[in-house]
Amino acid sequence: MAGTFITFEGIDGAGKTTQIELFTARLTAEGRSVLRTREPGGDAIAEAIRSVVLDRSLQPMEALTEAYLYAASRAQHVRQVLLPALDAGKTVLCDRFLDSSLAYQGYGRMLGAERVLAINREAVGELEPDWTVMLLLDPSEARARMHTKKLDRIEAERLDFHQRVYEGFREIALKHPQRVFLADAALPVEKLSEMIYAAWKSRG
């Protein structure tokens, strides 16, 4: 794999999209060829799966169905988008990846991280992020930040669900300190962006 695979993770309302935009601009300024993409989604089929899995009118959805839909979208995205871009030497910035399934379906839906990992094994194959930025914020503060947004099926879940997702992300970060940069999303946008870039520059 010639390129570099960077993922952004974190709870809903932590400001992930803004930080990816700022980080993309910084890496592009370095002269890197950057591809920005997202999960669930990234190509027409994976985006179609996204619209099913986030549709609030499709109720009730089994936790297992949800886990398979995210994994199906990932199987498509890995093969159609991520691997070709990485093979071509690009720096790929992905808004969410496997850690989101472990946190949301494994912890949030309580399927268990092991089971969710097993469901995703074939979907991801050997692909692993080189570096991950994880944005964490107290779930009630994150919810308050989203008050004007039309919430999707996952965002609309109760606070205790988001609390479990938060704990899941924290455990993943503690388990992979080399790969994951844990960032405090309560910081002002510019400050946070600078810290992320400094961490990227100084990573071993």
Backbone phi, then psi, for 174, in 5-degree steps?
-70, -35
Nearest residue (CB) to ligand TYD, 146 versus 187: 146
Backbone phi, then psi, for 61, in 5-degree steps?
-105, 130
Nearest residue (CB) to ligand TYD, 152 versus 167: 152
Q: How far is the CB of 28 from ligand TYD (least distance, A)?
A: 21
Residues 122-161 that bind ligand TYD (CB under 6 A): 152, 154-155
Candidates 25-33, 83-91, 95-103, 194-202; binding stretch for ligand TYD (CB under 6 A): 95-103
Q: Is residue 43 a contact point for ligand TYD (CB under 6 A)? A: no
Largest CA distance in the chain: 47
Q: Is residue 19 a contact point for ligand TYD (CB under 6 A)? A: no
Q: Is residue 38 a contact point for ligand TYD (CB under 6 A)? A: yes
Q: Among all residues, whose Cβ is closest to ligand TYD?
A: 104
Q: At a CB cut-off of 8 Å and minimum separation 6, what does 120 contact?
A: 71, 74, 98, 101
| Residues 136 and 182 sit within 8 Å (Cβ to Cβ) | yes
Q: How far is the CB of 108 from ligand TYD (least distance, A)?
A: 7
Nearest residue (CB) to ligand TYD, 50 versus 90: 50
Q: Is residue 9 a contact point for ligand TYD (CB under 6 A)? A: no
Q: Is residue 104 a contact point for ligand TYD (CB under 6 A)? A: yes
Q: How far is the CB of 120 from ligand TYD (least distance, A)?
A: 8
In whole angstroms, what is the distance from residue 30 CA to residue 125 CA? Answer: 30
Does residue 170 sit in helix, strand or coil?
Answer: helix
| Residues 196 and 19 sit within 8 Å (Cβ to Cβ) | yes
Determine how β-strand 34-38 pairs with β-strand 91-95: parallel
In whole angstroms, what is the distance from residue 156 CA to residue 36 CA? Answer: 26
Per CB under 6 A, residues contacting ligand TYD are 12, 17, 38-40, 54, 70, 95-96, 100-101, 104-105, 152, 154-155
